[in-house]
Structure formats: structure tokens, C-alpha cells
């Protein structure tokens, strides 16, 4: 007698066999390419690793769907987890988190425990946390930057458990921060309920510019990858702060998204289409480098074309606020266009994380049901062996204070 359980098990096994078969065939093709390229070129030593890593991502969404489950839960926060970030430091895999309980916590993923705790001054909610790559690469210090309801941005040294810097020129709460994608993360952008964005020099602790164009709270900001470079320049370290070819996008509670030129500080474009406040914005990369992804309080997820200034897709399915969006590391085969599509992801107060095909605004590809309103999430690529193989895990924070890792 065939049961639903047996059928599901047989389908799962078939998917794994298919994946393994494709992977084995891919390895044979790669080995053939390597033999040819070594003879003809002689210098591409890591080509097999690069291609193997790319090919593996083609099927990774199906694998994630068929085998993923809840693998870790971190308990400690007692209120909304607004933000999480991930970093490696001296081979340790670390998470940091900020919460309405006015604490910032650091977690060792491998040891499955909290390793540091900071109580924010004035008992203010912490809205965004980021590991500082600038301090790590220049001073080998593990520093967390965070912004909060007390209008400040602070830098905290994890090892010494002390405050390193404070930026306090915003006049209302600061909702989002992001380090620059150029000059090693030396510059920081912040968005505030005072309707402004500020660009800061982390090295000198100075405010370099105020971007003033929104009429409501700026909830989220993001730096672009390099979008427009001059071929006469041999590197990107040009302009006043080395930001030529880079832009900043900002999402506000007036339901619009603005794009700004970093060097000229001019507003370049405005995207309108959301009906309520924008909670999350992200720039794309690689083949999606000319796109911006956004999520809003009206429950929609939207994809925008930077060059044309127009909306590409709108994704409906969430029944409450969309709090966070990301371009996922996954790729899926799209039978409509007979080609692989990138996958985007959104987290909502409707207690779900949804995966979408960027080429189709039809029903979502996959849904993860959380336990209490998804506020933030982050994809973690953790190396699992010496052969540069990685596991893709999804970490998310909830309104009940818990942090879960799904993988």
C-alpha cells in the first residue's frame, strides 16, 4: 500500500539521486576542461574550484528545500530581535544581535552559546547591528557598530567590552546603518527618523555629509557595488572618498526609495510604487547588479531596475508587514524561460520567510514558517571542510526574542 509518507520519501530520494547524478557528470566535464586548459593556458589552477562552486549553486535550492530543518536556537533576548549580522574572527563563526530589550549579544555558532553581552546606555532599543570589517582588517579588532532609539551610533570592542566611538549628530532615532562597499568599509551610512541620512568617516569619526530629501523617517540604507567606473582609472580609489561609481539607496516611511551619488551627494532617482513605509532595501550583485529589492509595510516585495527607474516585478503573498528582504545565494531552474533564475527572499510579520523567483511573480517557491513574526534574517555561508565546500544556513530573528538557524 502506498502512503503519502512513502511517496514523499521516494520523491526526496529521487531528488537526491538526480542531484548527485548531475554533480558527478559536472565533475567529469570540469576535469575534461581542466586537462584542456592546463595544456593551452597553463595558469588557471583554481578554475575547477570556481566552476564547481558555481555549478553547485544551480541545484542548491532544491537541496535546501528537501533537507533543511531547524538546527539551532539561541535564547537570551526577551524582546524583538531587530537585527543580526555574521562574521568570522580567528576561525570562529560569530553572530551579533540587537534587540528592543536594549542589549547587543554575541553568539558563537559552533559552540552554540552566547559569549558576550552589552547593555545599551539609556535602555534604548537597538535597531541595527553590524560587524566592522574596517576595524578587523586594519587593526585586527572585532568591533560591532550599532544604532538605537537614543539617536546614537556606537562602536563596541567585543574583546575589551568597551565603547570605542560614538556618533551623535542625528536628532531622532537611527533605524539603519551600512558600511561602505569600497575602501575596506571605512565609511558608514546611517538613516534616521529625523528624515536625513549621514555619511561618516569611521577612521576620523567625522560626519562628511547630510543627505536631505526625505520627508519621513529613513528606515533602511544600502551601499551599491561598483556600478559605473571609468576605464582610464586603474582602481576605484578615486574621488573625494574613493566612492566614484558607487551609490546609496534609502527607504523611508513616506513609501519611496531614493538613490544618491556618493561623491556628488546628489539625488539621482526616486522609486515610487509602495503604498506604505519601506522597511528594507538591498542592492543586487553580479547579473542583478542594476537592480534594487525592497519590502514594505503593505506586504509587497518589489524589484526595481536602476537604469530605467522602473519596477520590474512585484511579489504578493505576505499578509502583514515585510520587514526584511535579501538576494539569496540560491538559483532555481525556471521552466517558463528555460533558464536558471536567481532567488530572492523576504521575511514578514505574518510569521513566514518566502522564497521567490525573480523572473516570475507567481506563487512563491518555498515558505518557512517561523514561531513569532520574522523581523530580520541573514544567509550564512559556513565552510564545512578543507575542500572549500560550504553549507548555506538561514539565520532569523523573531519578535519573541529567539534567534533560529535553519539549514
Q: What is the pLDDT of residues 170-199, one digit of tens each?
A: 999 999 999 999 999 999 999 999 999 999
pLDDT of residue 139: 94
Asked if residues 51 and 33 have their Cβ atoms less than 8 Å apart, the reply is yes
In the predicted model, is pLDDT for residue 389 greater than 50? yes
Q: pTM here?
A: 0.82
In the predicted model, is pLDDT for residue 39 greater than 50? no
Percent of the chain exceeding pLDDT 70 equals 79
In the predicted model, is pLDDT for residue 386 greater than 70? no
In the predicted model, is pLDDT for residue 291 greater than 60? yes
Measure CA 22 to chain center.
29
Average pLDDT over residues 287-307: 96
Alpha-carbon span 177 to 43, nearest angstrom: 41
Average pLDDT over residues 367-389: 85
pLDDT of residue 52: 40
pLDDT tier at 337, thresholds 50, 70, 90:
low
Domain 66-406 has CATH 2.60.40.10: no
Nearest-10 crossing angle of helices 60-67, 4-40:
150
In the predicted model, is pLDDT for residue 385 greater than 80? no
Q: Residue count of the chain, please give it.
A: 407
In the chain, list all ranges with CATH 2.130.10.10: 66-406
pLDDT tier at 243, thresholds 50, 70, 90:
confident
pLDDT tier at 332, thresholds 50, 70, 90:
confident
Alpha-carbon span 162 to 179, nearest angstrom: 21
Average pLDDT over residues 390-398: 92
Helix (H) or strand (E) holding 119: strand 113-119
Choice between 355 and 4, residue whose per-residue pLDDT is larger: 355
Average pLDDT over residues 194-211: 97
In the predicted model, is pLDDT for residue 391 greater than 50? yes
Measure CA 137 to chain center.
20
Give the ranges where 41-169 is alpha helix by DSSP (H).
47-58, 60-67, 133-139
Nearest to 261 by CA among 232, 288, 292, 228: 228
Nearest to 344 by CA among 377, 372, 320: 377
pLDDT tier at 336, thresholds 50, 70, 90:
low
Amino acid at each position: 500500500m502506498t502512503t503519502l509518507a512513502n511517496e514523499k520519501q521516494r520523491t526526496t530520494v529521487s531528488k537526491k539521486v538526480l542531484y548527485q547524478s548531475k554533480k558527478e557528470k559536472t565533475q567529469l566535464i570540469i576535469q575534461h576542461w581542466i586537462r584542456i586548459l592546463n595544456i593551452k593556458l597553463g595558469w588557471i589552477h583554481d578554475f575547477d574550484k570556481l566552476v564547481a562552486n558555481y555549478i553547485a549553486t544551480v541545484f542548491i535550492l532544491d537541496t535546501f528545500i528537501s533537507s533543511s530543518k531547524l538546527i539551532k536556537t539561541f535564547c537570551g533576548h526577551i524582546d524583538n530581535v531587530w537585527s543580526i549580522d555574521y562574521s568570522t574572527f580567528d576561525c570562529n563563526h560569530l553572530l551579533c544581535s540587537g534587540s528592543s530589550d536594549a542589549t547587543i549579544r554575541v553568539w558563537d555558532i559552533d559552540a552554540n552559546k552566547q559569549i558576550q553581552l552589552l547593555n545599551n546606555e539609556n535602555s534604548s532599543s537597538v535597531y541595527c547591528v553590524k560587524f566592522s570589517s574596517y576595524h578587523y582588517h586594519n587593526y585586527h579588532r572585532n568591533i560591532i557598530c550599532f544604532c538605537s532609539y537614543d539617536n546614537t551610533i556606537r562602536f563596541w570592542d567585543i574583546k575589551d567590552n568597551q565603547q570605542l566611538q560614538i556618533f551623535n549628530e542625528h536628532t531622532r532615532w537611527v533605524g539603519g546603518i551600512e558600511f561602505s562597499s569600497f575602501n575596506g568599509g571605512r565609511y558608514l551610512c546611517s538613516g534616521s527618523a529625523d528624515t536625513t541620512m549621514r555619511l561618516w568617516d569611521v577612521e576620523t569619526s567625522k560626519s562628511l555629509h547630510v543627505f536631505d530629501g526625505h520627508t519621513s523617517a529613513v528606515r533602511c540604507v544600502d551601499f551599491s557595488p561598483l556600478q559605473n567606473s571609468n576605464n582610464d582609472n586603474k582602481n576605484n580609489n578615486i574621488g573625494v572618498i574613493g566612492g566614484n561609481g558607487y551609490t546609496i539607496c534609502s527607504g523611508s516611511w513616506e513609501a519611496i526609495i531614493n538613490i544618491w551619488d556618493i561623491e556628488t551627494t546628489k539625488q539621482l532617482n526616486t522609486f515610487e510604487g509602495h503604498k506604505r513605509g519601506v522597511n528594507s532595501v538591498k542592492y543586487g550583485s553580479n547579473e542583478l547588479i542594476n537592480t534594487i529589492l525592497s519590502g514594505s509595510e503593505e506586504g509587497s516585495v518589489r524589484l526595481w531596475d536602476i537604469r530605467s527607474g522602473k519596477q520590474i516585478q512585484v511579489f504578493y503573498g505576505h499578509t502583514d508587514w515585510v520587514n526584511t528582504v535579501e538576494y539569496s545565494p540560491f538559483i532555481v531552474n525556471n521552466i517558463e524561460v528555460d533558464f536558471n533564475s536567481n532567488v530572492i527572499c523576504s521575511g514578514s510579520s505574518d510569521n513566514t520567510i518566502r522564497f521567490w523567483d525573480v523572473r516570475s511573480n507567481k506563487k512563491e517557491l518555498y515558505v518557512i514558517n517561523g514561531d513569532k513574526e520574522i523581523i530580520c534574517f541573514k544567509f550564512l555561508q559556513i565552510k564545512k571542510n578543507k575542500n572549500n565546500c560550504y553549507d548555506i544556513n538561514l539565520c532569523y530573528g523573531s519578535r519573541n526574542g529567539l534567534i533560529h538557524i535553519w539549514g
